Chains A and B, each alone.
Chain A
C-alpha cells in the first residue's frame, strides 16, 4: 500500500494543490493529513473543504494546534500577530467548516502506524520534536512501528536505538529511504504550506508499505501567488515573506 503524507497545509492553496498533483501522479492508495490545515495562509475555507472531501474518500486527518486555536478562538496569552491571524481565519469559516476542524481526532492509529500532529507523549501539549532526545521520548511513548508527525516544518527521519537519543537522518528528497521493519521510525515529512528549512518548495512524503520505503518529496509551487494572497487578505507581511524564503 502507498500512503501520501501531508503535514501543515496552513491554508496554502497553491502548495497543497502542487503536492496533491505530484502525489497523484506518483500514485497513492490513501492520504494522511497530519494537522494544521489552517493558520498563516489565505485560503482556510478551501483547505478545509479539500481535506473534508479527502476524508470522505477514506483519508485520515488529525488536529493540529492551529486548528484547535481557530476552533476555540484567540486568547489574551497569544502573540499579537497570532491572535490577529486566528481571528481572521475564524471569520473566514462557516459553522460546518469549524465543526469539521473541531471533530478532528488528536491521533489516529492504523495497523503499525501512528499519526499525530506534534508528538506521541502528549498529543494535546503540542511539544516539538526538534531533537533526537525528543524523538526518543516520542518513540518510547508509542508501540507503533512508524510514527508520522508534523508541527516542526522541517523534514526529518529518526530511528530508535537501544537507550539514549534516537538516530537522526536528514532525508534526501526524491530518494526512497528504506525503513527497515526491524526498526521503529519517526518521520516528519515537513510542511506543505510553510517550509522552514531555507527551501521554499513544499514538502510531503510517500510511504510504500510493500517495499518498506519512505520517499520525501520537494515540490516547487507558485509561492509568489500564495504570498500575494496573504498580503491581499491583510494578514501580517511576515507570513508572506517567509514563504518566499522558506524560513
Chain B
C-alpha cells in the first residue's frame, strides 16, 4: 500500500514542505533538512498498482546514476532511501525554468535558438564526459538557470557506461520520448552519445520553426519511420532561419549517428561560431527527400548494425577539439613549422578531430583612442588571414559529412595566457598545442605564457619548441635556466602535460 504523503510529514529527517508537481511517473515535494542547507527536492515514484515497470526501473536508474554526477549542469544528489515501501530521492532544487514553456512561444529568433542550443550542448557534453548518456533530452528536461547556464534533469532513462544498465536488459522496446527519440534508440541501442544530439536537434528544430520535425508518433510503426524519414527543412517552414542554423539542425537529426556532429562540444562550438559553419547541401535543402531515397534508406535500415560494446567516452576520445595557439606577430619560421608538425601529428591520429586556430591580439588595458575602431578591425582581419595562411599546409580530413573541421579565432585581451585559458575552458578544448618562444631577459622576469597555460589549463597541453641551432646556448651568465619553459627537456622535443580529467574528477 503506497504511503500517503502530507505536509509537515518527515521522511528520514526530511520535512515535507509542499507538493510541487504530480507527474505521471513521480511526485515532487519541496523538503528541508537541518543538516542539508539550501532548497531541496524529494522525488517519489508512484508505486501503486497499474504503474508500469519502466517508471519503477527508471527511478532505480536515476538513484544509481545521480550520486555519481557532479558539476554545474546537474542537480546535486543529497540522499535517498526507502520509507516503508515508498522509495525516495532527495536532490538540490535548482532555480530556473525549463525550456518547455518556450515551445508555446516558438518560433524563437534564430540567435536565441542557437544560444540555447549551445548552452544545452555544453551541458550534454559535461554529462558525456562523465560517462553518461541522457537518452531523454527534451525541453522539459533542460533547465535554464538564473546564471544563464543550462542544467539537465531526470536521469531515469540514462545509461552509465560503468554501471549495469537495468533498462537495456529489462525491456526490448524503444525507451524514450516519442517526438525526440533517436533512430538508433528506436532499435534499442542505448550506448551512443550522439542520440542526445539527435534529441537536441529535434528541440532546436521545434524552437526555431514552432513545429515538430517528426510529429508525435504513438505507435511502434510510427516510431520506426524515424529510421528512414527526414524532416521538412526548417527554412521551408520559416524562410528567415539562416542557412547555417538549418545546416546545424539538420546535421543533428541525421538518421545515421556517424553523420551527426561527433561530440556535443563540437556542436556547441559551431552554434557559437555561426560565421564559420561550413555549409553543405543541408543548408540549401528545400524539401524532404523523395520517395525513392526514403525507400532506399528503409532498405538500408533493415540491415543496420550498431556496436553495442562502445562506451560514451569512446566517442569523445575519437573526436577531440584541438586548439593551437599561434603568435602571428613574431616571425619565427622554425617555431611555426614545428607547431604545424605537432598539430598535424595530433589531428592525423583523430579522424574526427576539430582544429581551432587561435591567436591573441593584445588590447591595452587603458587609453582607447577614438580612431582605434577602424584600425582595430584591420588588425583583427590581418590576423585572421595570417592564421588561415599558417593552417593552409595542414592536411585535414575533409569528408562530406563532417565538412571542414578548421576554424580560426582572434581573441582580444590584455593578458594572452588568460585569453587562451578562457577559450580552452569555455569551448571544452581537449588538447592545446602552443609554442614556447626563445629565452629572453624580459620573459625571464615576467614569466612565460606557456608556463602559465600549462599550469592552469583544464586540458592536455603540448608545448612545442623549435629546433634552433643556437638554442642550447643560454644568454651569458645564465648557467642555471630559470625559465619555466626550460621544462622542455630537449630543443625540438614536446612537453606533454596531461591534465585530462582535472575537470570531471
Chain A residues packing against B (C-beta within 8 Å) = 157, 159, 161-162, 167-169, 172, 175, 177-178, 180-183
* Contact present for B82 and A178 (CB under 8 Å): no
* Contact present for B162 and A167 (CB under 8 Å): no
Q: Assuming the A-B contacts A172-B162, A177-B163, A182-B87, are A161 and B169 also in contact, with contact meaning beta carbons closer than 8 angstroms in the complex? A: yes
Top 5 A-B pairs, shortest CB-CB distance: A169-B164, A167-B169, A178-B64, A172-B162, A175-B162
* Contact present for A177 and B169 (CB under 8 Å): no
Task: Identify whether the interface residues of B are mostly helix, strand, loop, or mixed.
Answer: helix
Contacts of A157 in B (CB 8 A): 164
Contacts of B196 in A (CB 8 A): none
Cross-interface CB contact of A167 among B53, B87, B166, cutoff 8 Å: B166
Cross-interface CB contact of A161 among B60, B63, B68, B170, cutoff 8 Å: B170
Contacts of A182 in B (CB 8 A): 56, 60, 82, 87
Q: Does B8 contact A (CB under 8 A)?
A: no
Cross-interface CB contact of B60 among A175, A177, A183, cutoff 8 Å: A183
* Contact present for A181 and B82 (CB under 8 Å): yes
Contacts of A183 in B (CB 8 A): 60, 166
Interface size on B, residues (CB 8 A): 17
* Contact present for B162 and A180 (CB under 8 Å): no
Q: Assuming the A-B contacts A169-B164, A172-B162, are A180 and B60 also in contact, with contact meaning beta carbons closer than 8 angstroms in the complex? A: yes
Known: A159-B166, A178-B163. 20 other contacts (CB 8 A): A157-B164, A161-B169, A161-B170, A162-B170, A167-B166, A168-B169, A172-B162, A175-B162, A177-B163, A177-B164, A178-B63, A178-B67, A178-B68, A180-B60, A180-B63, A180-B64, A180-B166, A181-B82, A183-B60, A183-B166
Interface positions, chain B 51-69, Cβ under 8 Å from A, are 53, 56, 60, 63-64, 67-68
Contacts of A181 in B (CB 8 A): 82
A56 to B162, CA, bound (A): 36
A159 to B61, CA, bound (A): 13
Contacts of B63 in A (CB 8 A): 178, 180
**Minimum CB–CB distance for B191 against chain A, Å:** 13
Interface centre among B63, B87, B162, B170 (most CB of A within 10 A): B162
- Contact code string B61-84 (vs A, CB < 8 Å = 1, else 0): 001100110000000000000100
Contacts of A177 in B (CB 8 A): 162-164
Contacts of B166 in A (CB 8 A): 159, 167, 180, 183
Q: Assuming the A-B contacts A178-B67, A180-B64, A182-B60, are A167 and B82 also in contact, with contact meaning beta carbons closer than 8 angstroms in the complex? A: no
A181 to B60, CA, bound (A): 9
Contacts of A175 in B (CB 8 A): 162
**Minimum CB–CB distance for B119 against chain A, Å:** 29
**Minimum CB–CB distance for B61 against chain A, Å:** 9
Contacts of B68 in A (CB 8 A): 178
* Contact present for A159 and B60 (CB under 8 Å): no
Q: Assuming the A-B contacts A178-B67, A180-B63, are A167 and B170 also in contact, with contact meaning beta carbons closer than 8 angstroms in the complex? A: yes
**Minimum CB–CB distance for B86 against chain A, Å:** 12
**Minimum CB–CB distance for A203 against chain B, Å:** 17
Contacts of A178 in B (CB 8 A): 63-64, 67-68, 163
Contacts of B87 in A (CB 8 A): 182
Q: Of all chain A residues, which has the CB nearest B61?
A: A180
Interface positions, chain B 148-205, Cβ under 8 Å from A, are 161-166, 169-170
Q: List 19 A-B contacts (CB under 8 A).
A: A161-B169, A161-B170, A162-B53, A167-B165, A167-B166, A167-B170, A168-B169, A169-B163, A169-B165, A175-B162, A177-B162, A177-B164, A178-B63, A178-B64, A178-B67, A178-B163, A180-B60, A182-B82, A182-B87
**Minimum CB–CB distance for B57 against chain A, Å:** 9
A169 to B53, CA, bound (A): 21
A172 to B64, CA, bound (A): 15
Interface centre among A162, A168, A175 (most CB of B within 10 A): A175
Contacts of A161 in B (CB 8 A): 169-170
A157 to B161, CA, bound (A): 14
A22 to B440, CA, bound (A): 49
**Minimum CB–CB distance for B174 against chain A, Å:** 18
A182 to B64, CA, bound (A): 11
Interface positions, chain B 34-57, Cβ under 8 Å from A, are 53, 56
Contacts of B164 in A (CB 8 A): 157, 159, 167, 169, 177
**Minimum CB–CB distance for A209 against chain B, Å:** 14
A157 to B165, CA, bound (A): 12
Q: Of all chain B residues, which has the CB nearest A166?
A: B169
